[in-house]
Amino acid sequence: MSLADSLLRQLAERVGTPFWVYDGALIRQRIADIKAMTAAPGLQARFAMKACPATKILREMRAAGIWIDAVSGNEALRAVHAGHAVGNNPPVICFTADVFRDNALDVVLKHNLLPNIGSPAMIAQLAAGGYKGPISIRINPGFGHGHVNTCDTGGPSSKHGIWHQDLLAAKFAADRAGFDVVMLHAHIGSGPKIQELHDNLTRLAGEFAALIPQFPQVTAVSLGGGIPHNYRERDKQTDVASLAKLFAHCREVIVKAAGRLIRVEIEPGSYYVAPACTLVTRVHDVKQTRANAKGAGATFAMVDAGFVDLVRPAMYGSYHQIDILGKDPAQGTEPIVVAGPLCESGDVFTRGGADEELHPRQLPRPEIGDLMVLRDAGAYGYAMSSNYNSIGRAPQVWIEPDGSAELISRRESIEDILKPETSAPIAL
């Protein structure tokens, strides 16, 4: 992200810190990358909107012809609000879940969305609700990869999908309920290296090719998402051309096995949005602990953003590049722990993975009032933010190439936080 320091300072004065800032041009470039990857006939891209469901971004996807993967009833309604078409022919909005929660089943029924079911019991629940349309089945193929183990989306430890050895039993249940299975789906996650994605998707295409002769009504196969974004080496990103060839090859394998034309889908989430958003926060203090029998001391830069804003580092040790505006690391650095304001010891942005240890960053010496930026925060950033400690979600700002700025969500107030609270008797 290359937004000028002066612009970020102006925004900090205007909207306060912390705040999120999106580079519209970079999001459009990532959308163009995905369009290039799926330019061959019979390929269709979706956006896994859970990564960043802002209406502004959903409208960019609609304008580019990107379909939507929604994982809750409200996500589907947000896609409808942004102008995405309802109905299942074509299934512009696909509803993917392992459980029908809250309004999800009602939304599927009302808008005739294609349900991509991840648990066998959902078939009976659809039938009981009066659903009459086609379905998709999400398969757990028995393998997959996440950037950490807790993010695995395939294999024995993954909750997602119907285990591949139970697939035919699910098909028979769908047949009995009168549901045509028109799509098969699997999501095997994104490993830290692009070669893993190539290997896993090639294997997955072979698995689908073996299965599809048993599904004569299938018209589409989804290879899921998982296109990795390189958080640590930001100048070394995915080779768009190689993935275009891979997706076209996967479709050829599946079409040949099916003996008919099959639409092949992909549904990235992070890739579209990860690099296009920065979380801007302000340093409020710099303090130290000192070594004793329990361990080494550390220098803490205390900032006003916390895991209520960006939870990924606290949740699974994710890495985000951190810079201090106006300070050049070439002029000297020291180990700094970047920590937030929350009443929670885990509110640290410079924490490791499985070892849960502090991993200080080599940064210029911060001072009170400095603006600090956490890069590549667009995927699962604002989308996973919360009101822990009764803190309102930070505002989101969108920047166009001409430098114009748009507030796309305001800072939440205490009135927003209290709004759901009530004192309503329940008749029993």
pLDDT digits (tens, 9 = 90+) for 113-140: 999 999 999 999 999 999 999 999 999 9
pLDDT for the residue numbered 320: 96
Q: Say how far apart CA 160 and CA 97 lie, in whole Å.
A: 8
pLDDT for the residue numbered 1: 44
Q: Say how far apart CA 277 and CA 397 lie, in whole Å.
A: 9
Cβ–Cβ < 8 Å for 277, 21: yes
Active site residue 343: yes
pLDDT for the residue numbered 149: 46
Tokens linked to 57: 């971004």
Taking residues 270-281, report their average pLDDT. Answer: 97
Q: Say how far apart CA 246 and CA 288 lie, in whole Å.
A: 51
Residue-wise pLDDT for 62-109, tens only, equals 999 999 999 999 999 999 999 999 999 999 999 999 999 999 999 999
From 52, 151, 277, 343, active-site residue: 343
Residue 16 backbone dihedrals phi, psi, to 5 degrees: 80, 165
Q: Residue 356: is its pLDDT beyond 70?
A: no
State the sign of the Cα–Cα–Cα–Cα dihedral 183, 188, 189, 191. negative
pLDDT band at residue 9 using 50, 70 and 90 as cut-offs: very high
Where exactly does CATH 3.20.20.10 map onto the chain?
Answer: 66-268
What does pLDDT average to over the chain?
93
Q: Residue 344: is its pLDDT beyond 90?
A: yes
Tokens linked to 98: 């392992």
pLDDT band at residue 148 using 50, 70 and 90 as cut-offs: very low
Q: Residue 156: is its pLDDT beyond 90?
A: no
**Above pLDDT 70, what percent of the chain?**
95
pLDDT for the residue numbered 190: 59
Tokens linked to 280: 């801007």
Close Cβ partners of 61 (under 8 Å, ≥ 6 residues apart) = 31, 47, 49, 68, 82, 84, 272
Domain 275-411: which topology? Lyase, Ornithine Decarboxylase; Chain A, domain 1 (2.40.37)
Q: Which stretch of 58-72, 194-208, 284-298 has the lowest confidence by average pLDDT? A: 194-208
Q: Residue 158: is its pLDDT beyond 80?
A: no
CATH of 66-268, one of 2.30.31.70, 3.20.20.10, 3.20.20.150, 3.40.50.460: 3.20.20.10
More confident residue, 151 or 275: 275
Cβ–Cβ < 8 Å for 400, 27: no
Cβ neighbourhood burial of 86 (10 Å; 0-12, 13-18, 19+): middle
pLDDT for the residue numbered 316: 87
Taking residues 147-161, report their average pLDDT. Answer: 63
Cβ–Cβ < 8 Å for 51, 273: yes
Q: Say how far apart CA 263 and CA 320 lie, in whole Å.
A: 36
Q: Which stretch of 88-102, 172-186, 235-249, 254-268 has the lowest confidence by average pLDDT? A: 235-249
Taking residues 332-349, report their average pLDDT. Answer: 96
Taking residues 219-242, report their average pLDDT. Answer: 88
Where exactly does CATH 2.40.37.10 map onto the chain?
Answer: 275-411
Close Cβ partners of 14 (under 8 Å, ≥ 6 residues apart) = none
pLDDT band at residue 196 using 50, 70 and 90 as cut-offs: confident
Q: Residue 157: is its pLDDT beyond 90?
A: no
Close Cβ partners of 366 (under 8 Å, ≥ 6 residues apart) = 283, 286, 301, 324, 327, 336, 372
Cβ–Cβ < 8 Å for 312, 347: no
pLDDT band at residue 151 using 50, 70 and 90 as cut-offs: very low
More confident residue, 200 or 279: 279
Residue 292 backbone dihedrals phi, psi, to 5 degrees: -145, -165
Q: Residue 145: is its pLDDT beyond 80?
A: no
**Above pLDDT 90, what percent of the chain?**
83
Close Cβ partners of 363 (under 8 Å, ≥ 6 residues apart) = 301, 322, 324, 327, 329, 333, 334, 336, 338
Taking residues 162-190, report their average pLDDT. Answer: 93
Q: Residue 409: is its pLDDT beyond 50?
A: yes
pLDDT band at residue 24 using 50, 70 and 90 as cut-offs: very high
Q: Say how far apart CA 104 and CA 102 lie, in whole Å.
A: 6
Q: Residue 54: is its pLDDT beyond 60?
A: yes
State the sign of the Cα–Cα–Cα–Cα dihedral 34, 37, 42, 48. negative
Q: Say how far apart CA 386 and CA 253 lie, in whole Å.
A: 43
Strands 371-374 and 322-324: antiparallel
